[in-house]
């Protein structure tokens, strides 16, 4: 196999997009949007999206003029979804922990809410109008990913299939039917990713600034996006193709644009709470397990399996509560997870992609360990580093060391991971999701050494994903030390990273010359798995849990 020979034509012209394919793509995006609107209007009950009560209360606060509700003061009213039997204000109002998030999504969602509330007093329409934002974001997300793949010179037919694959992740389609900032964030991240990729391929300064702008928009949506800002801006600066004087001007400016919103939100948190990263957890909480080691942590409880399950198929929340008379039965949340055939098929697709990444990494590693062509003068930090590491022996040492480090990490971690009794597929899920651990160090080295932008993009996608995964795991570890429980293992936190990872995957599949049938059957399988999930599990679940 010679991946270089089969590399997509990333330096050439865009793949021509026929009128038929364009029309089909537009119809598909419209259908995705309409499906989300249908789900949000008739299938998913109000409050049945994770934390939807908090999200909706935040939207209503803004619509009613409280633009910046303060964490600790903002509340979730008890007449949010229905009129309570007892009309008096609740003596113990629930604190709205969702106002920890920056307000951009909520300010946008307040617009359709406000319009609906001016037209009618019917609460049904207020809720559905507010839910429209996520549904529209879902269709736009698929469209932006499609355009990004076209920018990567991926054949349009393949780009349609790959972009549509995100529309068959049941948790994502569920979220797209509700009031939540997750789908909006995924869309904004996709926009940032598109300009990130365009800059790496074409080196137009405008794209670097637009990437930074979308990153700051992402930062104004959710704090988890701040990690993406750090990773993407670091790569942008590493790839910034400018004379050094201009580099010194634009690098700080691009960085500044990307962190404008996070800086503002940090300043606000610092002003009100004395902590720029405040999310409502006080530092005075006494750690339940102060001496816990990482080894003990990964052995104590499952992490990867519930994370992938919630990434793929998590449904329900508190929408089961339908009657005010029986509010005393509405305590806590009621959830269901998709862990049967659709999930296993999805895990299989992930496995194939992970093995494709692994195979391409081996091929790239072998290629970059060969004697290289004569060097050109460096125009970017990346090229300067490549030239600096041009010595073949040094390259071999770096690549082999990274591969050994990744493999050793994998072999050390995998046997230590907690296994839930009776959960036979958990070791395999762990084995699949740990593959990025092997690839992470090698991806770092290969991204520095590769001369072809599309090669570097493959590794950057993986690197950003692994970077976020490690920080996420660190946060879960910190929470575990505090409360001795796995907290916040939500696969949806990875959605903003999906567009870049999907772009990297598209390049991997192109380079490995994966036959068209494989694309088609993989995506059709995901589509059938999605409808199976709703017909077999979700709708009967929603039917049976109502109180």
Partner 1 sequence: MNEFRPTPRSIAAMVALMAVLLLFMFYPVIERYENEDVLTKGIPWAGMRPAGEITPDFRLRQNLRTEHTQLEPHELDNVFCMDVLFATYGRRRNDGLIRLRVTAGDATNEQLVDVKNLIDNSLELICFPGVTFAQVYQRDAWIDIEGVSAAPGKSVTAVLSSTAGLPRATVNGAETDLTLVYVAKIRKDPGLYKFNSFVLIAFASLILTLLMVAAQPMFKGRPANAG
**Contacts to partner 1 from residues 118-157, by CB under 8 A:** 155-157
> How far, CA to CA in Å, does 313 sit from each of 26, 240, 346, 491?
26, 39, 10, 9
Minimum CB–partner distance for residue 491 and partner 1 (Å)? 22
Question: What is the residue whose two structure tokens read 């305590």?
Answer: 331
Binding of residue 43 to partner 1 (CB under 8 A): yes
Binding partner 1 (rule: CB under 8 A), the pick from 8, 24, 66, 471 is: 24
Question: Which residue from 14, 34, 294, 408 is in contact with partner 1, where contact means CB under 8 A?
Answer: 34
In this structure, the number of other CB atoms found within 10 A of the CB of residue 327 comes to 15
DSSP state, 289? S
- What are the backbone angles phi and psi of residue 323, rounded to the nearest 5°? -130, 130
Count of beta carbons in the 10 Å neighbourhood of residue 512? 15
d(CA 122, CA 75) in angstroms, rounded, equals 22
Using the minimum distance from each CB to partner 1, give the nearer residue, 244 or 341.
Answer: 341
Report residue 439 CA to chain centroid gap: 19
Dihedral angle sign, alpha carbons of residues 153, 155, 160, 161: negative
Binder of partner 1 out of 11, 73, 293, 323 (CB under 8 A)? 323
By CB under 8 A, tell whether 544 contacts partner 1. yes
Question: CA angle, 406 as apex, 404 and 407 as ends, to 5°?
Answer: 65
Q: Is residue 35 within 8 Å of 173, Cβ to Cβ?
A: yes
x-or-dash string of contact with partner 1, 200-229, rule CB under 8 A: ------------------------------
Q: Which of 2, 6, 27, 412 binds partner 1 (CB under 8 A)?
A: 27
Q: How far apart are CA 201 and CA 266, in angstroms?
A: 33
Task: Say how many residues touch partner 1, by CB under 8 A.
Answer: 56
Contact pattern for partner 1 over residues 269 through 308, marking x by CB under 8 A: ----------------------------------------
Sole binder of partner 1 in the list 3, 7, 21, 141 (CB under 8 A): 21
CA angle 273, 274, 277 (to 5 degrees): 80
Q: How far apart are CA 253 and CA 259, in angstroms?
A: 10
- Tell me if 330 contacts partner 1 by CB under 8 A: no
Which residues, 164 to 193, sit near partner 1 by CB under 8 A?
164, 167
In the region spanning residues 469 to 528, those forming contacts with partner 1, defined by CB under 8 A, are 516-517, 519-520, 523-524, 527-528
Which residue from 201, 39, 32, 65 is spatially nearest to 128, judged by alpha carbons?
39
Among the listed residues 3, 7, 32, 143, the single contact to partner 1 using CB under 8 A: 32
Using CB under 8 A, which of the segments 5-13, 174-182, 325-333, 477-485 binds partner 1? 325-333
Chain positions 65 to 84 lying near partner 1, rule: CB under 8 A, are 82-83
53/196 Cα distance (integer angstroms): 35
- CA distance linking residue 380 with residue 257, whole number of Å: 21
Binding site for partner 1 (CB under 8 A): 15-21, 24-25, 27-28, 31-32, 34-35, 38, 42-43, 82-83, 85, 155-158, 160-161, 164, 167, 322-326, 329, 516-517, 519-520, 523-524, 527-528, 530-532, 534-536, 539-540, 542-544, 546-547
């Amino acid at each position: 196999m010679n991946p270089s020979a089969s590399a997509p034509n990333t330096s050439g012209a865009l793949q021509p997009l026929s009128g038929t394919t364009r029309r089909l793509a537009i119809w598909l995006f419209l259908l995705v949007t309409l499906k989300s609107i249908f789900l949000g209007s008739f299938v998913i009950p109000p409050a049945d999206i994770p934390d939807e009560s908090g999200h909706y209360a935040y939207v209503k606060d803004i619509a009613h003029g409280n633009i910046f509700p303060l964490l600790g003061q903002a509340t979730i009213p008890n007449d949010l979804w229905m009129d309570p039997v007892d009309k008096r204000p609740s003596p113990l109002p629930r604190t709205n922990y969702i106002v920890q998030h920056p307000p951009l999504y909520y300010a946008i969602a307040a617009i359709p809410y406000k319009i609906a509330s001016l037209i009618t007093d019917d609460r049904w329409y207020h809720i559905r109008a507010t839910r429209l934002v996520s549904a529209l974001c879902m269709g736009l997300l698929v469209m932006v990913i499609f355009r990004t793949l076209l920018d990567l010179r991926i054949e349009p037919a393949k780009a349609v299939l790959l972009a549509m694959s995100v529309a068959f992740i049941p948790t994502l389609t569920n979220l797209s039917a509700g009031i939540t900032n997750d789908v909006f964030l995924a869309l904004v991240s996709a926009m940032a990713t598109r300009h990130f990729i365009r800059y790496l391929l074409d080196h137009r300064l405008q794209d670097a600034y637009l990437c930074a702008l979308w990153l700051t928009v992402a930062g104004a949506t959710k704090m988890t996006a701040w990690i993406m800002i750090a990773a993407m801006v670091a790569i942008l600066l590493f790839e910034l193709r400018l004379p050094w004087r201009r580099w010194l001007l634009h690098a700080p400016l691009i960085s500044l644009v990307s962190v404008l919103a996070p800086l503002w939100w940090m300043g606000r948190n610092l002003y009100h709470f004395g902590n720029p990263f405040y999310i409502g957890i006080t530092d005075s909480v006494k750690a339940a397990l102060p001496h816990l080691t990482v080894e003990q942590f990964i052995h104590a409880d499952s992490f990867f399996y519930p994370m992938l399950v919630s990434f793929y198929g998590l449904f329900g929340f508190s929408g089961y509560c339908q009657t005010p008379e029986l509010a005393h039965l509405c305590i806590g949340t009621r959830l269901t997870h998709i862990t049967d055939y659709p999930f296993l098929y999805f895990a299989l697709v992930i496995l194939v992609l992970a093995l494709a990444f692994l195979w391409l990494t081996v091929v790239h590693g072998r290629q970059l360990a060969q004697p290289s062509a004569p060097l050109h003068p460096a125009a970017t930090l990346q090229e300067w580093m490549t030239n600096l590491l041009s010595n073949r022996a040094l390259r071999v040492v770096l690549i082999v060391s990274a591969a050994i480090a990744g493999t050793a990490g994998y072999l050390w971690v995998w046997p230590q991971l907690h296994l839930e009794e009776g959960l036979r597929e958990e070791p395999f899920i762990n084995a699949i999701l740990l593959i990025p651990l092997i690839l992470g160090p090698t991806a770092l080295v290969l991204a520095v050494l590769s001369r072809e932008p599309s090669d570097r993009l493959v590794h950057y996608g993986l690197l950003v994903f692994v970077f976020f995964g490690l920080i996420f795991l660190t946060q879960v570890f910190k929470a575990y030390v505090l409360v001795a429980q796995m907290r916040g293992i939500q696969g949806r936190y990875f959605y903003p990273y999906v567009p870049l990872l999907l772009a990297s995957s598209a390049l991997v599949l192109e380079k490995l010359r994966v036959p068209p049938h494989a694309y088609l059957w993989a995506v059709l399988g995901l589509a059938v798995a999605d409808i199976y999930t709703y017909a077999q599990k979700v709708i009967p679940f929603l039917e049976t849990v109502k109180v």
